[in-house]
Structure 1
């Protein structure tokens, strides 16, 4: 009797948990066959609508099918070339316009030089860097001095008026000397003299309220950028100078 009861209890507790995944697999297979069948009979328009519906459902209404296909590489390169050419043309146009502006400024400065009979003391030239105004040292300074002579301050003031431009441009004021060693207690070298001459001249120029000091800078080159031979007195006189370089806007 005891053995029979144990056998009945064992048969009543047969493990059937394997049926659940088996049933799930069958359900998935049935769904797969239905989808495959539908895809084999649905037309292209319905397939497109179905794809869009799936994309919208999966990504909040903005699916991958809503975006255009990537641009071919050769077309993208062609567009880049066109844009690069347009940028280059715009740059060249701006440079031509700025060159004309600098030429107009040069005419204005040359008119001042001719009117005041300063052709032997002031000179202008258009260079690759910009418009260069050269001032002989005997216009502003006594020999070995970095202080603008009182009688020449008005010349610096008038030059400052020539530097009032709209729009403003960066301006570099540089001092230069000959190669004759300096011999006075104030300066140990021509380099120091050239720097202080540039700064002294710039200080007077910037007393003009119409000029912004932020656009100005000063340099000193000593005897190391001669424009003539130091073997003659005439050459040394040309090398002793202050230069005012007006930079084009396109170089800023």
Structure 2
């Protein structure tokens, strides 16, 4: 009887290298997830990812467990959300100012004051421009008696709920002035702003604490002083209705 041949045994392969290899892959995966989370604007989603991977990993401390909130890892992660909220607030504020602008423009059309009054909506607020020849005589700072009613009607247009900060500013052309009352265009522009504001604040519905007056003289022209029409545009009073949260101290214009 033939002798049975002994079956050849297959050598055992050492697979101990798989353990550190698997750990390395896990760490790399965790690293990519962390980098993704740091670049993501949604911190809540990153927390959910971290929680899911920690739950799937066994043994030892989870590689995505943080001893502090994710905001502490990178405060800028939450900044986009805050910026988004600020942008939405700004858009809402601009919308409200545009409604005030529509009301003033309707008044301008009704009184046929186009070319004398104009409104401009900017990031700085709602700007109402009044040419000085419908308020003041040349070289004078007191509002003409015939135009006091106009100033009072404008004060009614400035009644808002909630109220806003308002800056009244006076501007002149560059033609020098020096008389018994005023020694400079700057002096004249300041007094025009103050006297016009006084009439506005005769309206009890306006809060004097929210109003301020400035004078810029000839130093903030909106047109060339080389022509008569340009100088006329530069002689003006401006009312700047500020956005919410901005005060006259914050506004440098």
State the TM-score, normalized to the length of structure 1: 0.69
| Residues 172-251 of structure 1: pairs in structure 2 closer than 5 A | 172-251=167-246
Q: How far does the alpha carbon of each residue in 1:103-124 deviate from its partner, in whole angstroms, 9 at most, with x for none? A: 0000000000000000021010
Q: Considering only CA atoms, is the larger Rg found in Structure 1 or Structure 2?
A: 1
Report 1:25-44 matches (<5 A). Answer: none
Mapped to 2, the partners of 1:89 and 1:146 lie a distance apart of: 46
CA distance in 2, matches of 1:216, 1:141: 21
* Residues 1:99 and 2:87 are matched in the alignment: no
2:197 partner SS: helix
Q: Tell me how far 1:74 sits from its aligned partner.
A: 8.0
3-state SS of the aligned residue for 2:138? coil
- Is contact 1:229-1:236 (8 Å) kept? yes
Q: Give 2:152's aligned residue.
A: 157
Stretch deviating more after TM superposition (136-145 or 79-88): 79-88
Measured in 2, the distance between the counterparts of 1:250 and 1:114 equals 31
Q: What aligned pairs does 1:53-132 form with structure 2 within 5 A after superposition?
A: 71-72=66-67, 75-77=70-72, 80-132=75-127
TM-aligned CA deviation for residue 223 of structure 1: 0.2
Encode CA deviations 1:23-79: one digit per residue, 9 max, x unaligned: xxxxxxxxxxxxxxxxxxxxxxxxxxxxxxxxxxxxxxxxxxxxxxx9446834467
CA distance in 1, matches of 2:66, 2:92: 37
Write the distance in 2 (CA, Å) between the matches of 1:246 and 1:144: 27
Residues 74-117 of structure 1: CA distance to partner in whole angstroms, max 9, x if unpaired?
83446744533322121111000000001000000000000000
Mapped partners of 1:81, 1:73: distance in 2 = 15
Q: CA deviation at 1:201?
A: 0.2
Greater helix fraction, Structure 1 or Structure 2: 1
Tell me if the contact between 2:71 and 2:77 (Cα under 8 Å) persists in the aligned partners: no
Q: How many matched pairs?
A: 183
Quote the residue 2:62 is aligned against: none
Structure 1 pair 146–76 and aligned structure 2 pair: CA distance change class (3 A):
closer
**Distance between the aligned counterparts of 2:74 and 2:205, measured in 1?**
45
- Across the aligned residues of Structure 1 and Structure 2, the Cα RMSD in angstroms comes to 1.7
Secondary structure in structure 2 of the residue aligned to 1:134: strand
Could you say if the C-alpha distance between residues 76 and 191 of structure 1 is closer, same or farther in structure 2, counting changes exceeding 3 Å?
closer
SS of the equivalent of 2:78 reads helix
Q: Aligned-pair distance for 1:127?
A: 1.8
Give the alignment's TM-score, normalised by structure 2.
0.69
Q: 1:84–1:145: structure 2 CA closer, same or farther, 3 Å change rule?
A: same
Change (3 A) 1:244 1:74: same
Contact 1:98 1:250 in 2 (8 A): no
Equivalent pair of 2:71/2:78 in contact (CA under 8 Å): no
Work out the CA distance in 2 between the residues paired with 1:73 and 1:202: 55
